Amino acid sequence: MFKKVFEYAGPHKKDLYIATFIVLLSVLMGVLPFVLAYQVISPLVMGNAVDTKYVCIRVIGVLICLILQAILYGWGLDVSHKAAYSTLLRLRTSLQKRFEAVPLGFIQDKGTGTIKKLFVDDVDSLEVLLAHSLPEGIANLMIPIAIYVAMFFIDWKLALLSLASIPISFAAMMIMYSVGMKKMGPYYMAGQKMNNTIIEYINGMEVVKVFNKDAESYERFRKDISDYRDYTLEWYKAAWPWMAIYSSLLPCTIILTLPLGAWFVLCGFSTLPDLILVLCLSLSIGIPLLKSLSFLPTMPQLNYKIAALEQVLETAPLQQTDAVFHGKNYDICFDHITFGYEKSQPGPDGQPMVTMDEVIHDISFTAKAGQKTALVGESGSGKSTLAKLLIHYYDPQQGSISIGGQKITEMSLEALNSQVSYVAQDQYLFNTSILENIRIGRPDATDEEVLEAAKKAQCMEFLEKLPQGIHSMAGDAGKMLSGGQRQRISLARAILKNAPIIVLDEATAYADPENEEKMEAAIAELVKGKTLFVIAHKLPAIMNADQICVIEHGKLAATGTHAELLAICEEYKKLWKASQDSAEWKVNAVKEGK
Sites of contact with ligand ATP (CB under 6 A): 109, 341, 357, 359, 377, 379-385
Residues across the chain? 594
- CA–CA distance, 255 with 318 (Å, rounded to integer): 61
Residue 551 CB, shortest distance to ligand ATP, in Å, is 7
Tell me how far apart the terminal alpha carbons of the chain are, to the nearest angstrom: 64
Residue 338 CB, shortest distance to ligand ATP, in Å, is 13
Residue placing its CB nearer to ligand ATP in the complex, 37 or 532: 532
- CA–CA distance, 292 with 144 (Å, rounded to integer): 10
> Which of 164, 160, 151, 146 minimizes the C-alpha distance to 276?
151
> Which of 554, 551, 553 minimizes the C-alpha distance to 565?
551
Whole-Å CA distances, 150 to 146, 285, 575: 6, 12, 83
Residue placing its CB nearer to ligand ATP in the complex, 109 or 476: 109
Residue 381 CB, shortest distance to ligand ATP, in Å, is 4
Q: Name the H helices within 358-445.
A: 383-390, 413-419, 434-439
Residue placing its CB nearer to ligand ATP in the complex, 266 or 583: 583
Residue placing its CB nearer to ligand ATP in the complex, 274 or 395: 395
- CA–CA distance, 449 with 195 (Å, rounded to integer): 42
Residue placing its CB nearer to ligand ATP in the complex, 149 or 578: 578
What is the full DSSP assignment across 335-357? EEEEEEEEEEEE-TTSSEEEEEE
Residue 384 CB, shortest distance to ligand ATP, in Å, is 3
Are the CB atoms for 103 and 394 separated by under 8 Å?
yes
Are the CB atoms for 278 and 162 separated by under 8 Å?
yes
Who contacts 527 (Cβ-Cβ below 8 Å, separation ≥6)? 372, 502, 504
Residue placing its CB nearer to ligand ATP in the complex, 294 or 384: 384
DSSP assignment letter at 316: P
> Which of 393, 300, 266, 273 minimizes the C-alpha distance to 341?
393
Residue placing its CB nearer to ligand ATP in the complex, 296 or 363: 363
- CA–CA distance, 151 with 178 (Å, rounded to integer): 32
Whole-Å CA distances, 364 to 179, 358, 386, 394, 550: 48, 16, 11, 17, 12
Residue 21 CB, shortest distance to ligand ATP, in Å, is 49
Residue placing its CB nearer to ligand ATP in the complex, 137 or 377: 377
Residue 469 CB, shortest distance to ligand ATP, in Å, is 35
Who contacts 145 (Cβ-Cβ below 8 Å, separation ≥6)? none
Residue 316 CB, shortest distance to ligand ATP, in Å, is 17
Residue 76 CB, shortest distance to ligand ATP, in Å, is 47
Q: Residue 94: helix, strand or coil by DSSP?
A: helix
Beta-carbon count within 10 A of 429 CB: 19
Residue 506 CB, shortest distance to ligand ATP, in Å, is 6
Residue 552 CB, shortest distance to ligand ATP, in Å, is 10
